[in-house]
Structure 1
Amino acid sequence: MSTTAAALQAPAGTRRKIGSTGDLIFEWMCRGSGILVLLLLGAIILTLFVGGLPAFREFGAGFLTSTAWNPVEGREQYGALVPMLGTIVSAVLAILLAVPAAFGVAFFLTELSPPWLRRPIGTAIELLAAIPSIIYGMWGLFVLVPFVQQYIQLTIGETLGELPLIGVLLASNSFTGTSVFTASLVLAIMILPFIAATMRDVFEQVPPVYKESAYGLGCTRWEVMKGVVLPYTRVSVVGGIMLGLGRALGETMAVTFVIGNANRMPSSLFDPSTTIASIVAMEFPESLMGSLKQSSLLALGFLLFVISFIVLAISRFLLRSRLKG
């Protein structure tokens, strides 16, 4: 009791000094954490750039436009165009497939699902997010690849392959089932739970009075979603989509199983190809320390960083301009 009374009777200046010291320590700890993240990111980028510098010096700007990949000693030629194109196309197609499905799941859970069904479906979404990527790759190889080959690739290739313009993208030139489309489908399944969970959580944060007011005016569920929920949560929704896109750009093992790992330019979505992450995972263990091949693989890693940065920067710019408008 006496100690408590003494603490209560302590001069205000002493208590303020102790509190200000603690605030100062906490401030510098938080600031140091932020600086540490920047230092780690800078160290990774610098390591990749320095490691890939011999490849950039050897091939110059042609490294970005070349489709060659010849690791034979004495005739080494490396180019980044094929893995860069495979990375971008598979990730963008995965987003196009995953976002509508994720929105449907989130819309069902927040607006249509009975209360007793919301928890099991929400738990299933969280379990999908927890599955390791190599499991997705194995499942895709043994289940999804034959399904795509038999029921999607042959059907679409024979039916729509002769159409002008889009027929070239849908033609079946290879019948193995491993293709850019299969990799995009696996990526879409992998990133769907991240996007769906984000959308569900932010949809639930909309104040009920907003939706009740819209319903009172006679709006349907879809009109409430389009006119009230989506405008209120668009920043978080775009953030969830970017989270999924970042996961799709850097995915390695699942893509390696189903994309075919063919370092050549695909002529349609059903042709095998490769991505930056998969070619690095497949060939980096075989590269000699300090060799031109290892330098080219490190240069590809640096380019993956650049691609991710450009995609995120564009998305933030579009979102900021949309908010200002």
Structure 2
Amino acid sequence: RLRAGVVMLIDLLSSVPSVVFGLWGILVVAPAITGVYTNISSALSGVPVLRTVFSGAPISGRSFFTAGLILAIMITPIITSITRETFATVPRAQKDAAYALGATNWEMIRGSVLPFSRSGIVAGVLLGFGRAIGETIAVALVIGSSPQITQRLFSSGDALSAVIANQFGESTGTYQAALIGMGVLLFVITLVISAFARAMIARAERRIGAESV
């Protein structure tokens, strides 16, 4: 019963529009997490490298870290659905063989399920990563739209897709050409990642077909 409820919740998340995630992030998550940013910055203020990465918490909560958190929630349904389908393709005989050798549930998962499903899991992660790279609205709402290059995760910034969405309408000449070039670069990166993920899924399907014969 718990499994069915979790699966249904994850499937529902996959149908939520990205603008809803963005509004939720800017209205709920960003204000609520500002205090957490401040506490983390204070706790790591004495660590040489981490004090730079985790400093500069914005008052509004809109930052690279907030955008990453929202994107992580958005791509979770993709990764979990592909992983779940991959786990379902593990031959029953392989699981039974592990149990017959005296393996516990965790040992069976670690020794039989995970090695068999590795390609599918990696493919799911790559597909989710591809969606995260191309995401626009949610990122534009929560990242802060600050034109700066910084090492600080808690600082406001910008992303390729957000820059294109926010500035293309008012751009002209060379700047418009630069935005188009950014769009082409984003398209190529997403295409390469998606193609690689699809190739891994096809490889996993061929292996499953060969082992089921």
Q: State if a TM-score over 0.5 links the two structures.
A: yes
Is 1:174 paired with 2:58? yes
Distance 1:283 1:148, change over 3 A: same
Is 1:189 paired with 2:61? no
Displacement, 1:272? 0.6
Displacement, 1:167? 2.1
Among 143, 152, 160, the residue aligned to 1:268? 152
Is 1:236 paired with 2:150? no
* 2:25 matched residue in structure 1: 140
* 1:117 matched residue in structure 2: 2
State the percentage of identical aligned residues.
38
Kept after mapping to 1: 8 A contact 2:34/2:57 = no
- Unaligned runs of 5+ residues in structure 1 are 1-115
Task: State the Cα deviation string for residues 83-131 of structure 1 (Å, max 9, x = none).
Answer: xxxxxxxxxxxxxxxxxxxxxxxxxxxxxxxxx2322221111110000
* 2:175 matched residue in structure 1: 293
Displacement, 1:201? 1.3
* 1:107 matched residue in structure 2: none
Kept after mapping to 2: 8 A contact 1:149/1:177 = yes
Instruction: Show the 5 A alignment for 1:211-290.
Output: 211-288=95-172
- Unaligned runs of 5+ residues in structure 2 are 208-213
Letter in 2 for 1:161: S
| Count of equivalent residues | 203
Letter in 1 for 2:189: I
* 2:211 matched residue in structure 1: none
Instruction: Give the greater-gyration-radius structure (CA).
Output: 1
Kept after mapping to 2: 8 A contact 1:158/1:172 = no
Letter in 2 for 1:133: S
The normalised TM-score by structure 2 is 0.87
Instruction: Show the 5 A alignment for 1:60-139.
Output: 116-139=1-24
Displacement, 1:264? 0.4
Letter in 2 for 1:300: M
SS at match of 1:273: coil
Task: State the Cα deviation string for residues 30-58 of structure 1 (Å, max 9, x = none).
Answer: xxxxxxxxxxxxxxxxxxxxxxxxxxxxx
Task: State the Cα deviation string for residues 133-153 of structure 1 (Å, max 9, x = none).
Answer: 000000000111012211x20
Q: What is the alpha-carbon distance in structure 1 between the residues aligned to residue 159 and residue 75 of structure 2?
A: 17
Distance 1:317 1:158, change over 3 A: farther
Displacement, 1:157? 0.5
RMSD value, Cα = 2.3
Q: What is the alpha-carbon distance in structure 1 between the residues aligned to residue 8 and residue 196 of structure 2?
A: 33
